[in-house]
Amino acid sequence: MPATRKQQAPAPNRKAEARASVLPTQNQYSSIEQALVDALAAYGVTGLAIRADGALHRFDSADKPKGNRNGWYVCPSLEVGVYGFWHTGEQHTIGIGGEIDPTAAAEARLAAQHAREQREAERRQQQDKTATQARRWWAAARAADSGHPYLAKKRLHPHGLRQRGNVLLVPLYFNGELVNLERIFPDGDKRPLFGGRAKGVAGLVGKLAGVSRVLVAEGWATAAALHEAMNVPVVVARNADNLEAVARRVRQRLPDEVAITIATDDDRFTDGNPGVSKARLAALAIGAKMLMPTFCEGCKRCTDFADVALCRKGETP
Ligand SMILES: [Zn+2]
Protein backbone atom coordinates (compact mmCIF):
# COMPACT_ATOMS: atom_id res chain seq x y z
CA MET A 1 0.00 0.00 0.00
CA PRO A 2 1.52 3.36 -0.92
CA ALA A 3 2.30 5.47 2.13
CA THR A 4 1.04 8.69 0.59
CA ARG A 5 -1.94 10.70 1.63
CA LYS A 6 -4.23 11.94 -1.10
CA GLN A 7 -3.06 15.53 -1.46
CA GLN A 8 -5.71 16.75 -3.84
CA ALA A 9 -8.82 14.85 -2.93
CA PRO A 10 -11.49 15.38 -5.57
CA ALA A 11 -14.82 16.99 -4.80
CA PRO A 12 -17.40 14.27 -4.10
CA ASN A 13 -18.71 13.09 -7.42
CA ARG A 14 -22.43 12.42 -7.63
CA LYS A 15 -21.93 9.79 -10.32
CA ALA A 16 -19.13 8.02 -8.47
CA GLU A 17 -19.62 4.45 -7.44
CA ALA A 18 -19.72 3.93 -3.70
CA ARG A 19 -16.12 3.85 -2.57
CA ALA A 20 -14.46 3.03 0.69
CA SER A 21 -10.81 3.47 1.43
CA VAL A 22 -8.32 3.37 4.20
CA LEU A 23 -5.92 6.22 3.64
CA PRO A 24 -2.64 5.86 5.46
CA THR A 25 -1.46 9.27 6.53
CA GLN A 26 1.92 10.58 5.56
CA ASN A 27 1.57 13.52 7.90
CA GLN A 28 1.84 12.83 11.59
CA TYR A 29 -1.00 14.44 13.50
CA SER A 30 -1.10 15.15 17.20
CA SER A 31 -4.82 14.43 17.30
CA ILE A 32 -7.52 12.71 15.28
CA GLU A 33 -9.42 16.03 15.31
CA GLN A 34 -6.57 17.69 13.42
CA ALA A 35 -6.33 14.78 10.99
CA LEU A 36 -10.05 15.10 10.19
CA VAL A 37 -9.86 18.88 9.85
CA ASP A 38 -7.11 18.40 7.25
CA ALA A 39 -8.88 15.59 5.41
CA LEU A 40 -12.17 17.50 5.19
CA ALA A 41 -10.44 20.71 4.09
CA ALA A 42 -9.45 18.82 0.92
CA TYR A 43 -13.21 18.53 0.22
CA GLY A 44 -13.78 22.24 0.79
CA VAL A 45 -15.26 21.64 4.25
CA THR A 46 -13.82 24.08 6.78
CA GLY A 47 -14.67 25.64 10.11
CA LEU A 48 -15.92 22.47 11.80
CA ALA A 49 -15.28 21.91 15.51
CA ILE A 50 -14.50 18.19 15.28
CA ARG A 51 -15.73 16.14 18.22
CA ALA A 52 -14.02 12.78 18.69
CA ASP A 53 -16.68 11.49 21.07
CA GLY A 54 -17.67 8.28 19.32
CA ALA A 55 -20.98 9.76 18.12
CA LEU A 56 -22.02 10.38 14.54
CA HIS A 57 -21.70 14.01 13.41
CA ARG A 58 -23.07 15.64 10.29
CA PHE A 59 -21.85 18.56 8.26
CA ASP A 60 -22.68 20.28 4.98
CA SER A 61 -21.04 18.87 1.88
CA ALA A 62 -19.45 21.73 -0.11
CA ASP A 63 -20.98 20.66 -3.45
CA LYS A 64 -24.60 20.82 -2.23
CA PRO A 65 -26.79 23.69 -1.00
CA LYS A 66 -26.30 25.00 2.51
CA GLY A 67 -28.00 22.87 5.14
CA ASN A 68 -27.67 19.64 3.14
CA ARG A 69 -26.00 17.72 6.01
CA ASN A 70 -24.70 15.17 3.49
CA GLY A 71 -21.28 14.85 5.10
CA TRP A 72 -20.66 12.75 8.19
CA TYR A 73 -17.85 11.61 10.44
CA VAL A 74 -17.38 9.52 13.53
CA CYS A 75 -14.31 8.79 15.62
CA PRO A 76 -14.71 5.36 17.24
CA SER A 77 -11.48 6.02 19.16
CA LEU A 78 -8.95 8.82 19.54
CA GLU A 79 -6.74 7.02 17.01
CA VAL A 80 -9.07 6.70 14.05
CA GLY A 81 -11.82 8.58 12.23
CA VAL A 82 -14.25 7.67 9.47
CA TYR A 83 -15.90 10.23 7.24
CA GLY A 84 -17.97 10.19 4.12
CA PHE A 85 -20.72 11.72 2.01
CA TRP A 86 -24.21 10.20 1.86
CA HIS A 87 -25.01 11.44 -1.64
CA THR A 88 -21.97 9.77 -3.22
CA GLY A 89 -21.52 6.82 -0.92
CA GLU A 90 -17.89 7.83 -0.55
CA GLN A 91 -16.27 6.78 2.71
CA HIS A 92 -12.72 7.10 4.09
CA THR A 93 -10.85 6.03 7.17
CA ILE A 94 -7.94 8.01 8.60
CA GLY A 95 -5.56 7.62 11.50
CA ILE A 96 -3.41 10.11 13.32
CA GLY A 97 -0.23 8.83 11.70
CA GLY A 98 1.30 6.05 9.72
CA GLU A 99 -0.58 2.85 8.97
CA ILE A 100 -3.92 2.14 10.59
CA ASP A 101 -3.72 -1.07 12.59
CA PRO A 102 -6.28 -3.82 11.93
CA THR A 103 -8.12 -3.24 15.22
CA ALA A 104 -8.63 0.43 14.47
CA ALA A 105 -9.70 -0.40 10.93
CA ALA A 106 -12.28 -2.88 12.29
CA GLU A 107 -13.57 -0.25 14.74
CA ALA A 108 -13.87 2.18 11.88
CA ARG A 109 -15.84 -0.27 9.74
CA LEU A 110 -18.24 -0.92 12.58
CA ALA A 111 -18.67 2.80 13.24
CA ALA A 112 -19.40 3.41 9.57
CA GLN A 113 -21.96 0.62 9.56
CA HIS A 114 -23.71 2.14 12.59
CA ALA A 115 -23.68 5.51 10.86
CA ARG A 116 -25.41 4.00 7.82
CA GLU A 117 -28.02 2.25 9.97
CA GLN A 118 -28.74 5.43 11.90
CA ARG A 119 -29.08 7.36 8.66
CA GLU A 120 -31.45 4.73 7.22
CA ALA A 121 -33.61 4.75 10.35
CA GLU A 122 -33.83 8.55 10.28
CA ARG A 123 -34.71 8.50 6.61
CA ARG A 124 -37.55 6.01 7.16
CA GLN A 125 -38.81 8.02 10.12
CA GLN A 126 -38.90 11.19 8.01
CA GLN A 127 -40.67 9.32 5.18
CA ASP A 128 -43.37 8.17 7.61
CA LYS A 129 -43.77 11.70 8.90
CA THR A 130 -44.10 13.07 5.37
CA ALA A 131 -46.61 10.36 4.42
CA THR A 132 -48.75 11.30 7.43
CA GLN A 133 -48.64 14.96 6.46
CA ALA A 134 -49.50 14.07 2.86
CA ARG A 135 -52.60 12.08 3.95
CA ARG A 136 -53.71 14.88 6.24
CA TRP A 137 -53.35 17.52 3.53
CA TRP A 138 -55.05 15.30 0.95
CA ALA A 139 -58.01 14.61 3.24
CA ALA A 140 -58.43 18.31 4.00
CA ALA A 141 -58.04 19.56 0.43
CA ARG A 142 -60.91 20.49 -1.88
CA ALA A 143 -61.38 19.30 -5.47
CA ALA A 144 -59.08 21.20 -7.82
CA ASP A 145 -60.55 24.27 -9.49
CA SER A 146 -60.68 23.60 -13.25
CA GLY A 147 -59.75 27.28 -13.72
CA HIS A 148 -56.49 26.94 -11.76
CA PRO A 149 -53.82 28.90 -13.71
CA TYR A 150 -51.71 25.79 -14.38
CA LEU A 151 -54.66 23.75 -15.68
CA ALA A 152 -55.88 26.72 -17.70
CA LYS A 153 -52.48 27.30 -19.26
CA LYS A 154 -52.09 23.62 -20.11
CA ARG A 155 -55.78 23.37 -21.11
CA LEU A 156 -56.21 20.23 -19.04
CA HIS A 157 -59.00 18.86 -16.87
CA PRO A 158 -58.20 18.35 -13.15
CA HIS A 159 -58.51 14.52 -13.34
CA GLY A 160 -59.13 14.13 -9.63
CA LEU A 161 -56.41 16.49 -8.41
CA ARG A 162 -57.11 18.43 -5.25
CA GLN A 163 -56.19 21.94 -4.25
CA ARG A 164 -54.86 23.55 -1.08
CA GLY A 165 -54.95 27.33 -1.28
CA ASN A 166 -53.76 28.06 -4.81
CA VAL A 167 -51.59 24.94 -4.97
CA LEU A 168 -52.61 21.82 -6.90
CA LEU A 169 -51.94 18.50 -5.17
CA VAL A 170 -50.97 15.37 -7.12
CA PRO A 171 -51.26 12.27 -4.92
CA LEU A 172 -48.19 10.01 -5.09
CA TYR A 173 -48.40 6.33 -4.20
CA PHE A 174 -46.11 3.49 -3.24
CA ASN A 175 -47.46 -0.04 -2.78
CA GLY A 176 -50.95 1.39 -3.15
CA GLU A 177 -50.50 3.82 -0.26
CA LEU A 178 -50.47 7.60 -0.45
CA VAL A 179 -46.92 8.53 0.60
CA ASN A 180 -46.39 12.04 -0.74
CA LEU A 181 -47.94 14.92 -2.67
CA GLU A 182 -46.50 16.78 -5.59
CA ARG A 183 -47.44 20.43 -5.25
CA ILE A 184 -47.97 22.33 -8.49
CA PHE A 185 -47.82 26.07 -7.92
CA PRO A 186 -49.69 28.58 -10.11
CA ASP A 187 -46.46 29.42 -11.99
CA GLY A 188 -45.97 25.72 -12.86
CA ASP A 189 -43.22 25.09 -10.30
CA LYS A 190 -43.53 21.54 -8.97
CA ARG A 191 -42.28 20.32 -5.60
CA PRO A 192 -43.05 17.26 -3.49
CA LEU A 193 -43.34 17.56 0.28
CA PHE A 194 -39.96 17.51 2.00
CA GLY A 195 -38.46 14.18 3.04
CA GLY A 196 -40.90 11.81 1.40
CA ARG A 197 -40.02 8.58 -0.31
CA ALA A 198 -39.12 9.32 -3.94
CA LYS A 199 -37.84 6.22 -5.72
CA GLY A 200 -40.57 4.17 -7.37
CA VAL A 201 -43.25 6.56 -6.13
CA ALA A 202 -45.83 7.51 -8.76
CA GLY A 203 -49.11 9.26 -9.53
CA LEU A 204 -51.88 8.12 -11.85
CA VAL A 205 -54.25 9.74 -14.33
CA GLY A 206 -57.20 7.44 -15.05
CA LYS A 207 -57.98 4.04 -13.56
CA LEU A 208 -55.98 0.81 -13.76
CA ALA A 209 -58.74 -1.70 -13.06
CA GLY A 210 -59.51 -3.97 -16.00
CA VAL A 211 -57.38 -2.18 -18.58
CA SER A 212 -55.32 -3.85 -21.31
CA ARG A 213 -52.85 -1.01 -21.84
CA VAL A 214 -51.06 1.41 -19.52
CA LEU A 215 -48.67 4.24 -20.30
CA VAL A 216 -45.88 5.48 -18.06
CA ALA A 217 -44.87 9.13 -18.50
CA GLU A 218 -42.77 11.69 -16.64
CA GLY A 219 -44.89 14.67 -15.61
CA TRP A 220 -48.49 14.99 -14.53
CA ALA A 221 -49.42 17.34 -17.41
CA THR A 222 -47.97 14.95 -19.98
CA ALA A 223 -49.88 12.10 -18.39
CA ALA A 224 -53.11 14.10 -18.39
CA ALA A 225 -52.67 15.16 -22.04
CA LEU A 226 -52.03 11.54 -23.06
CA HIS A 227 -55.01 10.32 -21.08
CA GLU A 228 -57.27 12.90 -22.71
CA ALA A 229 -56.00 11.97 -26.18
CA MET A 230 -55.86 8.18 -25.84
CA ASN A 231 -58.28 7.33 -23.03
CA VAL A 232 -55.81 4.96 -21.31
CA PRO A 233 -54.51 5.20 -17.74
CA VAL A 234 -51.17 6.98 -17.50
CA VAL A 235 -48.77 6.53 -14.59
CA VAL A 236 -46.84 9.64 -13.53
CA ALA A 237 -43.18 8.90 -12.70
CA ARG A 238 -42.50 12.65 -12.09
CA ASN A 239 -39.03 12.71 -13.64
CA ALA A 240 -36.77 10.82 -16.04
CA ASP A 241 -34.62 9.37 -13.27
CA ASN A 242 -37.64 7.69 -11.69
CA LEU A 243 -38.98 6.14 -14.92
CA GLU A 244 -37.22 2.80 -14.59
CA ALA A 245 -38.09 2.21 -10.92
CA VAL A 246 -41.73 3.09 -11.61
CA ALA A 247 -41.88 0.99 -14.78
CA ARG A 248 -40.57 -2.02 -12.86
CA ARG A 249 -43.17 -1.57 -10.11
CA VAL A 250 -46.02 -1.18 -12.60
CA ARG A 251 -44.87 -4.33 -14.38
CA GLN A 252 -44.79 -6.25 -11.07
CA ARG A 253 -48.22 -5.08 -10.02
CA LEU A 254 -50.16 -5.61 -13.27
CA PRO A 255 -51.07 -8.92 -14.93
CA ASP A 256 -48.70 -10.02 -17.73
CA GLU A 257 -51.31 -9.45 -20.43
CA VAL A 258 -51.48 -5.71 -19.71
CA ALA A 259 -49.21 -3.92 -22.20
CA ILE A 260 -47.04 -1.16 -20.76
CA THR A 261 -45.70 1.63 -22.97
CA ILE A 262 -43.18 4.25 -21.91
CA ALA A 263 -44.33 7.63 -23.22
CA THR A 264 -41.17 9.70 -23.51
CA ASP A 265 -40.43 13.35 -23.15
CA ASP A 266 -38.13 14.26 -26.03
CA ASP A 267 -35.62 16.64 -24.46
CA ARG A 268 -34.24 17.36 -27.91
CA PHE A 269 -32.73 20.69 -26.84
CA THR A 270 -30.96 19.21 -23.79
CA ASP A 271 -27.53 17.55 -23.91
CA GLY A 272 -27.80 13.77 -23.90
CA ASN A 273 -31.63 13.96 -24.16
CA PRO A 274 -32.33 12.59 -20.65
CA GLY A 275 -36.04 12.09 -21.46
CA VAL A 276 -35.35 9.65 -24.29
CA SER A 277 -32.28 7.96 -22.80
CA LYS A 278 -33.92 7.27 -19.42
CA ALA A 279 -37.13 6.14 -21.12
CA ARG A 280 -35.10 3.71 -23.20
CA LEU A 281 -33.56 2.22 -20.04
CA ALA A 282 -37.01 1.89 -18.46
CA ALA A 283 -38.41 0.26 -21.60
CA LEU A 284 -35.49 -2.19 -21.78
CA ALA A 285 -35.84 -3.08 -18.11
CA ILE A 286 -39.38 -4.39 -18.53
CA GLY A 287 -39.51 -5.16 -22.25
CA ALA A 288 -41.89 -2.27 -22.94
CA LYS A 289 -42.43 -0.27 -26.13
CA MET A 290 -41.71 3.43 -26.33
CA LEU A 291 -44.02 6.14 -27.59
CA MET A 292 -42.35 9.34 -28.81
CA PRO A 293 -44.09 12.66 -29.38
CA THR A 294 -44.37 13.76 -33.02
CA PHE A 295 -43.65 17.44 -33.36
CA CYS A 296 -45.28 19.84 -35.75
CA GLU A 297 -43.07 20.79 -38.67
CA GLY A 298 -40.59 23.51 -37.81
CA CYS A 299 -41.61 23.56 -34.13
CA LYS A 300 -38.75 24.80 -31.97
CA ARG A 301 -40.48 24.64 -28.60
CA CYS A 302 -42.27 21.41 -27.84
CA THR A 303 -40.53 18.64 -25.91
CA ASP A 304 -43.38 16.51 -24.56
CA PHE A 305 -46.93 15.29 -25.31
CA ALA A 306 -48.51 18.08 -23.26
CA ASP A 307 -46.64 20.68 -25.35
CA VAL A 308 -47.70 19.01 -28.57
CA ALA A 309 -51.34 18.94 -27.50
CA LEU A 310 -51.19 22.70 -26.83
CA CYS A 311 -49.26 23.42 -30.02
CA ARG A 312 -51.93 21.63 -32.07
CA LYS A 313 -54.59 23.84 -30.46
CA GLY A 314 -52.60 26.84 -31.66
CA GLU A 315 -51.40 27.72 -28.15
CA THR A 316 -47.83 28.46 -27.11
CA PRO A 317 -46.51 25.72 -24.83
ZN1 LIG B 1 -44.82 22.43 -31.08
Give residue-wise pLDDT tens across range 194-244: 999 999 999 999 999 999 999 999 999 999 999 999 999 999 999 999 999
Ligand 1 centroid to residue 74 C-alpha, Å: 54
In the reported structure, the alpha carbon of residue 268 is separated from the centroid of ligand 1 by a whole-number distance in angstroms of 12
The predicted model gives 107-119 an average pLDDT of: 91
Percentage of residues in the chain with pLDDT exceeding 70?
A: 91
Ligand 1 centroid from CA 153, angstroms: 15
For the cut 50, the answer to whether the pLDDT of residue 9 exceeds it is no
Alpha-carbon distance values, 308 to 224, 294, 296, 304 (Å):
13, 8, 8, 6
* CA 290 to the chain's CA centroid: 23
Residue length, the chain? 317
**234-278, pLDDT tens digit by residue?**
999 999 999 999 999 999 999 999 999 999 999 999 999 999 999
pLDDT band at 6 (very low <50, low <70, confident <90, very high): very low
**How far apart are the CA of 301 and the centre of ligand 1, in A?**
5
Q: How many angstroms separate the alpha carbon of residue 13 from the centre of ligand 1?
A: 36
What's the gap in Å between 304 CA and the centre of ligand 1? 9
Distance 206 CA to ligand 1 centre (A): 25
Ligand 1 centre to CA of 315 (Å) is 9
Give 300 Cα–ligand 1 centroid separation in angstroms.
7
260 contacts 247 by C-beta, under 8 angstroms: yes
Distance 317 CA to ligand 1 centre (A): 7
How far is C-alpha 59 from the geometric centre of its chain's CA atoms? 20
Single pTM value for the model: 0.79
Ligand 1 centroid, distance to 229 Cα (angstroms): 16
3-state secondary structure of 111: helix
